[in-house]
Amino acid sequence: MNIQQIYTGCLSQGAYYIESEGEAVIIDPLREVEPYIQRAAKDGAQIKYVLETHFHADFVSGHLDLAAKTGATIVYGPNAQPEFQAFVAFDGHEFRVGAITIQVIHTPGHTMESTCYLLKDESGKEVALFTGDTLFIGDVGRPDLAQKITADLTQEKLAGHLYDSLQQKILPLPDDVLIYPAHGAGSACGKNMSKQTFDTLGNQKVTNYALQPMSKEAFIKKLTEGLETPPAYFPVNVMLNVQGYESIDRVLDRGLQALNPEAFEALAQEMNILILDTRDAPTFAKGFVPNSINIGIDGSFAPWVGALSTDIRQQILLVTEEGREQETVTRLARVGFDNTIGYLEGGFAAWEKAGKEMDRIESVSAEMFSEKLSQDENLHILDVRKPGEYGSGHLETAENMPLDDINDQFMALNKEQTYFVHCAGGYRSMLFISILRARGYHHLIDVAGGMKAIQEAGVKVLQENVCPSMR
């Protein structure tokens, strides 16, 4: 028996490969399926099943492409109603995979179709539980991301279902069972996830707040308080996973069209085209194609694209580092952004060499910012971190305008006013400024290095429990 966790850091997502005696199972695969096929081929194994723990909201699963390419059967738990061929298992159903058994354990709560898969070894011993978004390390799944939240199925009712699932289905399992969740720290599918990506159930019974003894009422209250608004692309991803989607191969063929500067410029001038520049923030600031949005490929790229774009169907043109075009198109497709129509061949250097129009963003060092602040304590400062980050320490005169809320709050800014903008390390502030610059805000100055650099420069930071924001 072979169990492999395939963890993707940018999405904080765990997929799983399980193999026994030449038969394999994939649990919650990502959109690009070739790595799973290659892994099975290396073991001389046939992928027999693609097990889905639920209809995912934060990424588009690779279940359809994987099934089409391997002949594997797609499996969901009870209550699932996919609009494509799949096997909807009943609670307790068992699958044989080589010499091992995988049992379906229906655990509604995160969503009504949420299901865990219990792996039993050759002797029938319960070895591992693949929990999807039902149980994380240090947390449990949010109860507000179901396909349909209605008057008959509120987040409170879902939280109640989750309590019952944990108490009746998971907690009675042996303490030495390994817990393999679908996500770790950084995912928006929970509130308090650990950086660990697996653990024993026994240790989770001790350390996970949601597994401590409490009444159902207390659990519901604890689970539903402090939930942040989920990213706007989540419902769209759910529907793609329910209804189906275009093959990743066609998405890549369309997106990997090399465009010379003239062709790129012609397309960029069309209506409703998003120009996405994935270089790092300091490089972007020095020169970019006008109206480009900077979301660095080396950060939480796909989640930020999904969180900030208002239209998942929007056509996208890419400016990337040379050699990273396919990676970028793939990572966009993971969250349902399938309409990349080409990239700037030769990168921004080709644009510059062609003598095309360029734009720049002013960026100052933390030391220069500190000097300006000492000369004028009334500088207008925007802190674009999350409210919790702001509350843990911020500049005295800084106003909090979280990047997550930019589409709702940016109209509060004065286009003629100069603002110094910072985040924690410089990634989000450049994203924030580039979005607003494309909307006509030309007096935003980036503080390079963010709060980390500002503190190192000796600027006084206030701490408070509650933070005001520009709402």
Closest by CA position to 21, among listed 46, 39, 51, 38: 46
Q: Model confidence over 339-397: pLDDT tens digits?
A: 999 999 999 999 999 999 999 999 999 999 999 999 988 899 999 999 989 999 999 99
What does the DSSP assignment read for 99-140?
TEEEEEEE-TTSSTT-EEEEEE-TT--EEEEEEETTEETTEE
Give every CB contact of residue 435 below 8 A, 6+ residues apart in sequence. Answer: 293, 308, 406, 410
Longest dimension (CA), the chain: 74
Q: What whole-number distance in Å separates Cα of residue 2 and Cα of residue 17?
A: 8
The C-alpha R_g of the chain, in whole angstroms, comes to: 24
Q: What whole-number distance in Å separates Cα of residue 458 and Cα of residue 471?
A: 29
**How wide is the angle at C-alpha 147 spanned by C-alphas 387 and 197, nearest 5°?**
60
Q: What whole-number distance in Å separates Cα of residue 51 and Cα of residue 333?
A: 20
**Residue 426 zone, left/alpha/beta (φ > 0; ψ -120 to 50; rest):** left
Q: What whole-number distance in Å separates Cα of residue 122 and Cα of residue 282?
A: 55
What's domain 363-456's architecture? 3-Layer(aba) Sandwich (3.40)
Domain residue spans in the chain? 2-235, 246-353, 363-456
Closest by CA position to 400, among listed 429, 364, 434: 429
The answer to whether the CB of 13 falls within 8 A of the CB of 183 is: yes
What is the per-residue pLDDT for 270?
Answer: 85
Residue that has been written with the tokens 């707040």 in this structure: 209
Collapsing DSSP to helix, strand or coil, 457 comes out as: coil
Q: What whole-number distance in Å separates Cα of residue 257 and Cα of residue 11?
A: 26
**Residue 458 zone, left/alpha/beta (φ > 0; ψ -120 to 50; rest):** left
Q: Under CATH, domain 246-353 is a member of which superfamily?
A: Rhodanese-like domain (3.40.250.10)
The answer to whether the CB of 304 falls within 8 A of the CB of 294 is: no
Q: What whole-number distance in Å separates Cα of residue 138 and Cα of residue 143?
A: 16
What is the per-residue pLDDT for 312?
Answer: 87
Q: What whole-number distance in Å separates Cα of residue 253 and Cα of residue 267?
A: 18
Q: Model confidence over 66-95: pLDDT tens digits?
A: 999 999 999 999 999 999 999 999 999 999
What is the per-residue pLDDT for 42?
Answer: 96
Q: Facing residues of 49 across strands?
A: 25, 73
What is the per-residue pLDDT for 333?
Answer: 96
Residues of the chain with pLDDT below 70 are 147-151, 464-471
Q: Which two tokens stand for residue 408?
A: 């709702």
Question: Measured between alpha carbons, how far apart are the two ends of the chain, in Å?
Answer: 54
What is the per-residue pLDDT for 364?
Answer: 96
Give every CB contact of residue 172 below 8 A, 6+ residues apart in sequence. Answer: none
The answer to whether the CB of 378 falls within 8 A of the CB of 397 is: yes
What is the per-residue pLDDT for 148?
Answer: 64
Give every CB contact of residue 273 below 8 A, 6+ residues apart in sequence. Answer: 267, 314, 315, 316, 317
What's domain 2-235's architecture? 4-Layer Sandwich (3.60)
Neighbour tally for 377: CB within 10 Å:
9
The answer to whether the CB of 12 falls within 8 A of the CB of 195 is: no
Q: Do domains 2-235 and 363-456 have the same CATH topology?
A: no
The answer to whether the CB of 113 falls within 8 A of the CB of 55 is: yes
What is the per-residue pLDDT for 466?
Answer: 41
